[in-house]
Structure 1
């Protein structure tokens, strides 16, 4: 069944576990994520970013997720991830997405706050939950050591932002990166604790791929209720497909597709288990 993430994330924060948000780009990734959720019997967020629109139309994603979610018998959220376009957010809401993320993190604080509040008003009128972001994560070409100090979320700004916008979840920047780490993660739990003491809504950790389990556990104990995983889904699946094809067997594309679903499930199950075992 498809739901928005407001209630399930609030419960996760209260009970100190996290919901996995797994990026999808095609049929195989959608099926892998939802089959893993079904097997584990855990609420799961299927995340589709606007940068993957060349792969699939929003309406196609809604149709596939909606069909598969009916068989899952657990809450499934269809989330528009990292969207900077007002037009695409409205399109996603109309298409049937149950939550959206407006990413105004690169904007000046006041402008980000104003535009986010406008989107919240539209989304909430349609029963859709909203995530926003303060601070900016480094991308995979940087290590945390190179960029961390300038990307952390300011706790006082977070408090003001949440109060002024009415968002349902806040993505915070505490030193994780988009992509895989090149160095030792420099994650500041102190910043997270300060934010959590001032903000009572669920907090979101982007850049879950490759983050050490001990740090993940500590983040969940201090307010993180949603964790995004993207890069490892791609890396793990591509590496294993490459090994499969190197065997020299004459695989049919349909067989490779099924194996891809299995590889995706391995990543989802790994992280979904980690997020609930703190």
Structure 2
């Protein structure tokens, strides 16, 4: 399903949709299973940084096959893309939304580059996310380092009006990864951004953010929340424990068994987030 359609319903009914960063069969299966357990829509996200290790044409075909069988709406999203060629490639193989990250540019250049992407994507009925401001990098993250510049509400208004994007990533103090110290999330800024634009808002950095802060963000207009690091930690922690036990007992577990159990551990973490983001709202699926 087109991500814009999923997020418009979330915006109307004041809940958020989980966008799980995925990079394997197990991560995709865990995300869809978690969404089905909670009967909530889900966004399968693949970052441009994983292109060297993930064949995106094959990945898109795999997600489409799973989405067609799912009992909940599923969309496929390109996360944090910096190159126009990557975005065109994702559109050609069936992604239903793309994110162009032009946050490193000046506002005027970001607007110019994002507008070009929006025009291309909308021709293919693909929705577009973009970002102004930049997120800092926390612990256990594989994201690029940002400078932590927060989104200016007036600039957000200009950016949305001139680019015609479908949803906006707002930098309000969350980080990619886990926080180093106490989170300092600017909810007053989020409220001003929400009052300045009428499109769904996106929060990057769901991992490590407390439930009460996530729900406060949703109440103030956040409709999509990205989650990556906590799922990764759940998987790697399981693998570490499993192999320590195996080596201690001089056993060699089969890879298929390890993958299946790892998927279940990721699913538990994903269910937690889907449940929080739902805000106790059951959408019409």
Shorter-chain TM-score tier: over 0.9
Does 1:255 pair with 2:254?
A: no
After TM superposition, the structure 1 = structure 2 runs for residues 122-141 of structure 1, keeping only pairs within 5 Å, are: 122-140=120-138
| 2:134–2:146 CA contact under 8 A, matched in 1 | no
Q: Which residue of 1 aligns with 2:119?
A: 121
Q: Which residue of 1 aligns with 2:198?
A: 200
Residue 141 of structure 1 and its aligned partner are, at CA, apart by: 5.3
Residue 250 of structure 1 and its aligned partner are, at CA, apart by: 3.0
TM-score normalized with structure 1 length: 0.94
Q: Which residue of 2 aligns with 1:273?
A: 275
Q: Which residue of 1 aligns with 2:52?
A: 54
Deviations 1:10-68 (A, max 9, x none): 11112111000000011111111112222222110000001011221110111110111
Deviations 1:241-277 (A, max 9, x none): 2112222243101100111111111111010000012
Structure 2 residues without counterparts, runs of 5 or longer: 281-285
Aligned length: 272
Q: 2:226 aligns with which of 225, 228, 242?
A: 228
RMSD: 1.7
After TM superposition, the structure 1 = structure 2 runs for residues 64-143 of structure 1, keeping only pairs within 5 Å, are: 64-140=62-138
Q: 1:22 aligns with which of 16, 20, 23?
A: 20
Helix, strand or coil: the match of 1:247?
helix
Q: Which residue of 2 aligns with 1:161?
A: 159
Residue 70 of structure 1 and its aligned partner are, at CA, apart by: 1.4
Q: 1:82 to 1:148 in 2, by over 3 A?
A: closer
Helix, strand or coil: the match of 1:183?
coil
Deviations 1:119-175 (A, max 9, x none): 111111101000000100001159xxxx99951100000000001111110000000
Q: 1:188 to 1:149 in 2, by over 3 A?
A: farther
After TM superposition, the structure 1 = structure 2 runs for residues 141-180 of structure 1, keeping only pairs within 5 Å, are: 151-180=149-178
TM-score normalized with structure 2 length: 0.92
Deviations 1:174-205 (A, max 9, x none): 00000111100000000000000111100000
Q: 1:46 to 1:148 in 2, by over 3 A?
A: closer
* 1-structure distance, mates of 2:148, 2:253: 48
| 2:48–2:78 CA contact under 8 A, matched in 1 | yes
Helix, strand or coil: the match of 1:163?
helix
| 2:18–2:225 CA contact under 8 A, matched in 1 | yes
* 2-structure distance, mates of 1:66, 1:14: 26
221-230 vs 4-13, greater mean Cα deviation: 4-13
